[in-house]
Structure 1
Amino acid sequence: MKIALYARYSSDNQRDASIEDQLRLCRLHAEKQGWTVVDSYTDRAISGASLLRPGIQELINDAMRGKFAVVLAEALDRLSRDQEDIAGLFKRMAFAGVRIVTLSEGDVTHLHVGLKGTMNALFLKDLADKTRRGLRGRVANGKSGGGLCFGYDVVKQFAANLEPIRGDRTINEAEAAVVRRIFADYLAGKSSRTIAFELNREGVPGPQSAEWGPSTIHGNPKRGVGILNNELYVGRLVWNRLRYLKDPDTGRRVSRLNPESEWVVQEVPELRIVDQEMWDAVKARQQTLAYEPSAPGENKLNDRRRPRYLFAGLVKCGCCGSGYTMISKDLLGCATARNKGTCNNRLNIRRDALEASVLRGLHTHLMEPELFKEFCQEFTREVNRLRIERGADIEAQRLELERTERELDKAIQAILDGVPGAKLKDKIGALEARKAELVDLLANAEEPPPLLHPNMAEIYHQRVATLYQSLQSEDERAEAAQVCRSLVDRVTLAPDGEELAIILRGDLAAILRFAAGKKSPDFLSEAGALDVLLSQASVVAGIGFEPMTFRL
């Protein structure tokens, strides 16, 4: 009996020894049962409230491949504490023919999944309630109930019983000076982007030693996040403003704003960094710059929203890799260079000039008939060769099956003619085994799709011409623009002296789909041929042609 072991612990405060203890107990149990352990899977310091864990995901994948017949764990809650997840895991293991056995529950059944799943979920809820109760008591005593804010240090001290006293904070004077500077600069009329740019240029470390960004400074006033909105800077500790839920699809925590009546507010004047007059002035300036809907369902920002341009989201800086964004009505610039000042690429480009250059490049370079024709010819030859080989393999297996059946018939006839069966036993056994193998291979073999049309490049060129004409038409431009965006994988703008060089990279798979005129043509499944041709593209298509990349 081949089995797999699984172990997990959920908190950073626990030790790796917990994993080893769980595995040791499971191995002892396996030895008593005479089972063979083929692999073990672990998740360290990861909550059991989600299946989005690398260890459990690897275990599920191996179970589906039939690597083992039993999963052994210390208890059901090691696999998952979520009702939905444990039921789904049990269903997947049952489908794969894999039993779940734990040291606590024994052989896990539907009854265990229902009862223990509910108990584990209630345990998580009870643990969360107790944790919140403890934090609320800590906040009532003027101590922090959350993480460490910029501008403060953790006070490490111990009680008489040597237990750590948690939640005490003290002002970090160096960081407090940065906080006061940010408030003063904002009142002086500087934007959060300008403040972030200056701090990064001077090498001032931000929260958690990261770079400063505009959102780090202005944050969200309603949620109380951001340097300008942290009420702890005026000696007011606010707890329970936000609650956090775990997204069941991604496993990530998502914040939700609680009603103000549920907030817990405690005055801590010893932690004040900014005086009240400066705080009130900042709030007043924020209010004047805020956009509030004048009527239900109305948003003034809708009138200020710029139309999405043709290659939005695809244009990247060649120096730092960040996006090129609209910095004015007509100009595109590097977002990192403007917002953080950590990129030296200060060259801008007009949006209409960029679009015209890229469209011209698509028409005259990426879609150049001669270049693409040469590539298509080589691609067609390689894919057709693989399909012919695959078809030949299937035909060879069919012929071998026919020969095997004839050999079996001859052996049976020999026994009927009086030849002792003992002499033919091994031969018949080998023929039967080979016949079963061939029947299985042919039953699961897929017939190769039809060969590619040798004139694919010409068909592609006709479709390109039609697309380019549609882009010039106002009525058809929107739909044609979506097709055009799908052909472009990335547009990189790299400084070249005083100008920007435009490097266009195409999506090869999308281009080949476009050439075939299908959403998912069969030839794109020829992964081997595609990889080979991608690695040889510069040789196949001639000098100056990199894999679907052009410098305009």
Structure 2
Amino acid sequence: MSNSLNGAASAARKNTSQNPQIDPGVPCASYARFSSDLQREESIADQQRKCEEKAALNGHVISPNLEFSDEAVSGTKRHRDGLDAMLAAARAGKFQVLYFHSLSRLSRESVITLPLLKELVYNYRVRIISVTEGIDSNDTAWELIAHIMSIVHEQYLRELSVNVLRGQEGTVLAGLSVGDYCFGYSSEPVSSSEQSPRGRSCKPRKMYVIDRETAAWVGRIFHWFVRERWSLRRIIRELNRLGAPKDHRATTPLWHHQQLLKLLANKKYIGEWPWGQKKNIRDPLTGKIRQEDRSPENCERWTRQLPHLRIVDDETFEKAQELLQKQATLHAPNRKSRGRFAGSSPGSSSHYPRHLLSRLIICGECGRVFNVGGCNGKYLFCPSYDKGVCTCKTTLLRERAERMIIDAIGQRILTNSLWRQRVFEETLKFWREAEAVLPDELAAAQRRLCEVDQKVGNILDRIEAGHGGAELDERLSQRRAEKRHLLEEIDRLQRADHGRGDEPTESWVSTQLAALGDVFTENTPAAAHALRALVGGGITVTEIRRDGHQRHYLQGRFTITSTAIVNKLAGVAGQQSEQAPLASDALAEEIVLDFREAPEIEALSEQAKKLYDDGHMCAEIAKLMGCGRSRVTAMLKYWFESRGMAMPDGRSRRSSLTKKHLIPPRYQEIADEVQKLSSEGLLLQAIANRLGVDRNMITAAIRWWHESQGLPVPDGRTRRKSLEYKGAPKGRNDSELSCGS
């Protein structure tokens, strides 16, 4: 074929030289092109010089205005600026002869080259002349030579592609850079390769390195997305506000949604560097290139494990993928067939809440989620009221509701010893169960992997034996996909096994509960998600109407469980991604909150009730609070009735009090002195005479003294019988008696 080609080209040149077509008045043009930015720009001038020399031999002159060219443009592209301009000039009849260095300058695709030549020759009546290949459309054999040479140039392109892929593959398998590093990384020359560069325009071999400046931004982005639970939009706004740098291939200065998605899904940040996942497919008719996925089996041999290039830990990366998948699932119904959004979902704020109570408050009457409204979004309201399908008119002050809910939960998880003990017990139980199950799960996954490997081997044996087919190919693909899934599962279990923490202690649980309490005080998406998990997904509110009042208030109800708290404790023995099942003996409590500012009497009634429980009399409470006794009675009545309780009878309570008088009566004032004299053996009457009171007061004083000390009251008759003197002897005063009745 090569000999025939050379013979045809030689015959064409001989025919041209024997029958020269010299016509200096014919307008002539030239076209030149080089395809790579690594080539010299002088290549265009060299090609044009060769065309001018050939034109001079033919008695032609090429006008400088008709020298068309394309620089650093592939010959596989149908539309090029210089080529299109040349065709437009030919269509307008501005030249009659076109010179080019070789057919490869016009195109490297035969399906482009031949139609292009025929369009010039037969439609525009242009004579075409190839300088190096001897093609001249005035020669009858020009089409044959053009067909052959176009196929030769096309084959060269295929061989070049194979050679380039071979060279890149060797570099990849050597663990060196092929220019595919992303944001957070860079490359630097390998010192040994700088000494002996080979080849034309050769560059030193390079290795991947972490770029400290941009790697810090990668860590910050994953922290915002996973830990702080920021939305993608918020992260993009913050990156652009801070002027964060972008990838070295970026063509625009600002961050955008698609770039952030690719960054969060990039496995290179955990040390797994794939290569060759896609291959270029070129449309031979248009030269346009599209990318298609290579099969995972073909890509496995090119995937490099480079742990020294890890920027993000596995747990954070896996959590990011989980959040991205949830987001994709959430927005799937709102995307068109090509993946573009058809509109936002009204419930998308639950995935990235903007405040602590986002989509958390539910109307108890109609079941709708409360919307944000009012001045600067300070209130929440039922959207069904404006539509006339719900009677809940009262709005909820968001700041007040957040404060009351956080306070109520904080009282349970931070100050209640019963809750703390139960949370510790469930945490310890869950940790021990995970410790027992994890080795079994790992062993089961490894056994399953061995079975799948054996099945893959069996299928390959059948294919090699000549029994292959579409069905076996499909089964092989399924088994290999199953194997990849098992390898990922084994890797996750092994990391969980190696990263297990120590057994939880009470102090550790206390620290984690305090940290959880701190999370609630932050107005972040992470705090909103934590609150939603603790309250079971929603807080139901009901409008409480008060007769005689124009304004009503909302009452909220939600239940928290000890198991929900356990699931929110960060770092439970390395099992952060796991969820503890609801324990049968889990502690649960329904919390009821009145979302309103407490009226004055409510605060005062709490103060009065505390003094009441401390054993103070109502008159004493009134004196301490600086109000009348009737006001104290009203406060206590309000306290009991607001809680559905009956106020105790005042007389019954008074009888149980140690102090029954605001000003102590006389018998209480003299009780200590009476007891002292009684213990000295004086008669009761003698004590009465000495103190100037009657005998009944002395009896009351003795009784009160013993009762206040928690002692039994002595019987008078029994005491009288034990005395030596039971009456007053003659000649002695009662005051001198040392014994009495």
Query: Structure 1 length normalisation: TM-score?
Result: 0.51
Write the distance in 1 (CA, Å) between the matches of 2:48 and 2:233: 52
| Deviation, structure 1 residue 37 | 0.8
- Confirm or deny that 1:133 pairs with 2:162: no
Verify the 8 A CA contact 1:152 1:169 in the aligned structure 2: yes
Write the distance in 1 (CA, Å) between the matches of 2:242 and 2:285: 41
2:154 match: 121
Residues 404-437 of structure 1: per-residue CA shift (max 9 Å, x gap):
xxxxxxxxxxxxxxxxxxxxxxxxxxxxxxxxxx
| Deviation, structure 1 residue 234 | 1.4
2:74 match: 47
Write the distance in 2 (CA, Å) between the matches of 1:242 and 1:113: 34
Verify the 8 A CA contact 1:99 1:107 in the aligned structure 2: no
2:289 match: 253
Write the distance in 1 (CA, Å) between the matches of 2:304 and 2:160: 25
CA 1:252–1:175: 2 relative to 1, 3 Å? farther
Deviates more, 1:192-201 or 1:148-157: 148-157
Higher relative contact order (CA 8 A, sep 6+): 1
Q: Which amino acid aligns with 1:132?
A: L
Write the distance in 1 (CA, Å) between the matches of 2:174 and 2:233: 37
| Deviation, structure 1 residue 210 | 2.6
CA 1:55–1:62: 2 relative to 1, 3 Å? same
| Deviation, structure 1 residue 5 | 1.0
| Deviation, structure 1 residue 167 | 4.2
| Deviation, structure 1 residue 202 | 1.4
Task: Find the residue that maps to 2:304 and give its secondary structure.
Answer: strand
Equivalent pairs: percent with the same residue?
Answer: 31
Task: Find the residue that maps to 2:99 and give its secondary structure.
Answer: strand
Q: Which amino acid aligns with 1:5?
A: S
1:301 match: 332
Q: Which aligned pairs between 1:404-423 and structure 2 lie closer than 5 A?
A: none
Verify the 8 A CA contact 2:99 2:129 in the aligned structure 1: yes
Query: Structure 2 length normalisation: TM-score?
Result: 0.38
Q: Aligned pair count?
A: 300
CA 1:250–1:116: 2 relative to 1, 3 Å? closer
CA 1:137–1:251: 2 relative to 1, 3 Å? same
- Confirm or deny that 1:291 pairs with 2:329: yes
2:269 match: 233
2:735 match: none
1:159 match: 194
Of the three residues 52, 56, 63, the one matched with 1:31 is: 56
Task: Find the residue that maps to 2:32 and give its secondary structure.
Answer: strand
Verify the 8 A CA contact 2:34 2:74 in the aligned structure 1: yes
Write the distance in 2 (CA, Å) between the matches of 1:275 and 1:201: 27
Verify the 8 A CA contact 1:11 1:45 in the aligned structure 2: yes
| Deviation, structure 1 residue 326 | 5.4
Structure 1 alignment gaps of length 5 or more: 219-225, 293-299, 308-312, 314-323, 331-552
1:198 match: 238
1:281 match: 319
Could you say which structure has the higher strand fraction? 1
Write the distance in 2 (CA, Å) between the matches of 1:162 and 1:117: 34
Verify the 8 A CA contact 1:142 1:267 in the aligned structure 2: no
| Deviation, structure 1 residue 248 | 5.3
Task: Find the residue that maps to 2:303 and give its secondary structure.
Answer: strand
Of the three residues 114, 120, 136, the one matched with 1:93 is: 120
Verify the 8 A CA contact 2:78 2:285 in the aligned structure 1: no
Write the distance in 1 (CA, Å) between the matches of 2:206 and 2:260: 24
| Deviation, structure 1 residue 255 | 1.8
Write the distance in 2 (CA, Å) between the matches of 1:204 and 1:107: 57
Residues 491-549 of structure 1: per-residue CA shift (max 9 Å, x gap):
xxxxxxxxxxxxxxxxxxxxxxxxxxxxxxxxxxxxxxxxxxxxxxxxxxxxxxxxxxx
Verify the 8 A CA contact 1:144 1:237 in the aligned structure 2: no
2:219 match: 180
CA 1:258–1:104: 2 relative to 1, 3 Å? same
Write the distance in 2 (CA, Å) between the matches of 1:277 and 1:77: 53
Verify the 8 A CA contact 2:135 2:146 in the aligned structure 1: no
Q: Which aligned pairs between 1:496-515 and structure 2 lie closer than 5 A?
A: none
CA 1:167–1:236: 2 relative to 1, 3 Å? farther
Write the distance in 1 (CA, Å) between the matches of 2:80 and 2:181: 27
Structure 2 alignment gaps of length 5 or more: 1-25, 137-141, 348-741
Write the distance in 2 (CA, Å) between the matches of 1:150 and 1:242: 20
- Confirm or deny that 1:59 pairs with 2:86: yes
Verify the 8 A CA contact 2:35 2:74 in the aligned structure 1: yes
Of the three residues 248, 254, 268, the one matched with 1:211 is: 254
Write the distance in 1 (CA, Å) between the matches of 2:310 and 2:234: 26
Residues 192-223 of structure 1: per-residue CA shift (max 9 Å, x gap):
222111111111122236311111111xxxxx
Write the distance in 1 (CA, Å) between the matches of 2:318 and 2:84: 51
Residues 78-107 of structure 1: per-residue CA shift (max 9 Å, x gap):
111111110121121021111211111123
Verify the 8 A CA contact 2:219 2:311 in the aligned structure 1: yes
Verify the 8 A CA contact 1:142 1:237 in the aligned structure 2: no
| Deviation, structure 1 residue 140 | 0.3
Write the distance in 1 (CA, Å) between the matches of 2:253 and 2:160: 33
- Confirm or deny that 1:265 pairs with 2:303: yes
Q: Which amino acid aligns with 1:198?
A: E
1:74 match: 101
Of the three residues 21, 24, 37, the one matched with 2:46 is: 21
Q: Which aligned pairs between 1:365-376 and structure 2 lie closer than 5 A?
A: none
Task: Find the residue that maps to 1:165 and give its secondary structure.
Answer: coil
Task: Find the residue that maps to 1:206 and give its secondary structure.
Answer: coil
CA 1:148–1:194: 2 relative to 1, 3 Å? same
2:457 match: none
2:134 match: 106
Q: Which amino acid aligns with 1:111?
A: L
- Confirm or deny that 1:7 pairs with 2:32: yes
Q: Which amino acid aligns with 1:180?
A: G
Verify the 8 A CA contact 1:139 1:145 in the aligned structure 2: yes
CA 1:249–1:186: 2 relative to 1, 3 Å? farther
Write the distance in 1 (CA, Å) between the matches of 2:178 and 2:196: 22
Write the distance in 1 (CA, Å) between the matches of 2:106 and 2:156: 15
Task: Find the residue that maps to 2:33 and give its secondary structure.
Answer: strand
Q: Which aligned pairs between 1:398-547 and structure 2 lie closer than 5 A?
A: none
Verify the 8 A CA contact 1:25 1:74 in the aligned structure 2: yes
CA 1:170–1:34: 2 relative to 1, 3 Å? same
Verify the 8 A CA contact 2:281 2:291 in the aligned structure 1: yes
Residues 234-284 of structure 1: per-residue CA shift (max 9 Å, x gap):
112211111122345764432211111111211122222112222222223
Write the distance in 1 (CA, Å) between the matches of 2:56 and 2:238: 65
Verify the 8 A CA contact 1:72 1:100 in the aligned structure 2: yes
Task: Find the residue that maps to 2:119 and give its secondary structure.
Answer: helix
| Deviation, structure 1 residue 291 | 2.6
| Deviation, structure 1 residue 122 | 1.1
Q: Which amino acid aligns with 1:105?
A: E
Write the distance in 1 (CA, Å) between the matches of 2:236 and 2:342: 17
Task: Find the residue that maps to 2:274 and give its secondary structure.
Answer: strand
Task: Find the residue that maps to 2:329 and give its secondary structure.
Answer: coil
Residues 156-189 of structure 1: per-residue CA shift (max 9 Å, x gap):
4543224532342211111001111111111132
Write the distance in 2 (CA, Å) between the matches of 1:161 and 1:9: 28
Write the distance in 2 (CA, Å) between the matches of 1:212 and 1:32: 58
